Amino acid sequence: MNGPMETNGKRILPLELRDVTFEAGGMRLIKNMTFTLGGAGKVFILGPNGAGKSLLLRLCHGLIKPASGQVTWHGGNPKHQQAMVFQRPVMLRRTVAANIAYALKLRGIDRKDRADIVSDVLRRTGLARLAEHPARVLSFGEQQRLALARAWALRPQVLFMDEPTASLDPAATHTLEELIAAIHAEGTKIVMTTHDMGQARRLADEVLFLHRGRLLEQAPAERFFDAPENDLAQAFMRGELLWWRRRKNPLDVPHPDPLDYRQGGVTP
């Protein structure tokens, strides 16, 4: 398989969120969020820390369930046609190639096809020489590239990425951005969060701006970066710390960890 890798199956987009809320620890962390994502563009979710960006990705990806509202995919088998890359890559304790093969096995890809897909995606991501190395001894940047390769191998229609370049140096960030562009060029919709405004300006086609669990603006990237309509978005672009805004003494207020919803297990 040397040509472009086409995405999988029947189209699942658009993705529609209708009045979605998410609560944890008695706090409403996502509030009445309604929007639709369609087309094939690269969507960037922006906002200050605690805005709910990572939670929103997890809600869309189905890792957490909303307290109310609906997350609706239109058509296809959404579970098998999307993938996610996390801020910290999680590698299984096996080789680079085996990490990708494992993901393919879970998606029901035949054993005879797995090797071809693995070698192809490793070549495309520049990891071919590391194929038989244990994944967990790779550098952080290489592990994140492997996480992207593992997601790419699944040929998802939608790829969610939660600050994938947050801990990378400029060179590794550049490499990852090139790979993201290549994945997008093959028909995968990209939905990612970032705090890197330069990266968002370089890559984004559409922006969702969040603040304290609310969607304040959804706009084409060019228009958002030229002249955001929302005053908090304007303040964010100026570099103001929105989390503390409008509080007289921020230390008096409990500061929820937006990812503190995690459960230790699953219900069968």
Partner 1 sequence: MDDFTGAFSTAFFMIASLDSDLAGIVALSLRVSLTAVAIATIIGLPVGAALALFRFPGRKTMIVVVNGLMGMPPVVVGLIVYLLLSRAGPFGVLGLLFTPTAMIIAQVLLVAPIIAALTLQVVEDLWSEYSEQLRSLGAGPHQAIPTLLWDGRFTLLTAVLAGFGRASAEVGAVMIVGGNIDHVTRVMTTAIALEVSKGDLSLALGLGIVLIALSMSINAAAFVIKGAAQRHGNA
Residues that bind partner 1 in the complex, under the rule CB under 8 A = 58, 61, 63, 79-80, 83-84, 86, 90, 92-94, 102-103, 106-107, 134-137, 154, 262, 264-268
CB of 252 to partner 1, least distance (A): 32
CA 185 to chain centre: 17
Task: Kindly state the smallest distance separating residue 21's Cβ from partner 1, in Å.
Answer: 21
| Residue closer to partner 1, measured from CB, 115 or 137 | 137
For residues 126 and 121, give the distance between their C-alpha atoms in angstroms, rounded to a whole number. 9
Q: How far is 160 from 148, CA to CA, in rounded Å?
A: 10
CB proximity list for 141: less than 8 A, separation 6 or greater: 168, 169, 172, 175, 176
Q: Give the tokens for residue 21.
A: 């809320």
Nearest to 14 by CA among 173, 210, 157: 157
- The distance of closest approach from Cβ of residue 5 to partner 1 in the complex, given in angstroms and rounded to an integer, is 17
Structure token digits, residue 263: 């459960």
* Shortest distance (Å) from residue 8 CB to partner 1: 12
Sheet containing strand 189-193, edge to edge, reads 82-85, 158-162, 189-193, 42-46, 206-211, 214-220
49 token code pair: 């820390």
Q: Please give the distance of CA 228 from its chain centroid, rounded to a whole number.
A: 23
Please, which residue, 3 or 268, has the CB nearer to partner 1?
268
Cβ nearer to partner 1, comparing 107 with 174: 107
The tokens describing 74, both together, are 């239109």
CB 116 within 8 A of CB 109: no
Say how far apart CA 155 and CA 189 lie, in whole Å: 11
Nearer to partner 1, 57 or 210 (CB): 57
Residue with tokens 């296809």: 76
Closest separation in Å from C-beta 136 to partner 1: 4
Residue with smaller CB distance to partner 1, 45 or 103: 103
Residue number, 87 or 230, with CB nearest to partner 1 = 87
Q: Which is nearer to partner 1, 77 or 234 (CB)?
A: 77
CB of 239 to partner 1, least distance (A): 31
Least Cβ distance, residue 261 to partner 1 (angstroms):
11
Q: Residue 138 or residue 203: which is nearer to partner 1 going by CB?
A: 138
Cβ neighbour number for residue 40 with a 10 Å cutoff: 15
The residues pairing with 18 across neighbouring beta strands, listed in sequence order, are 70
CA 5 to chain centre: 20
Q: How far is the CB of 198 from partner 1 (least distance, A)?
A: 28
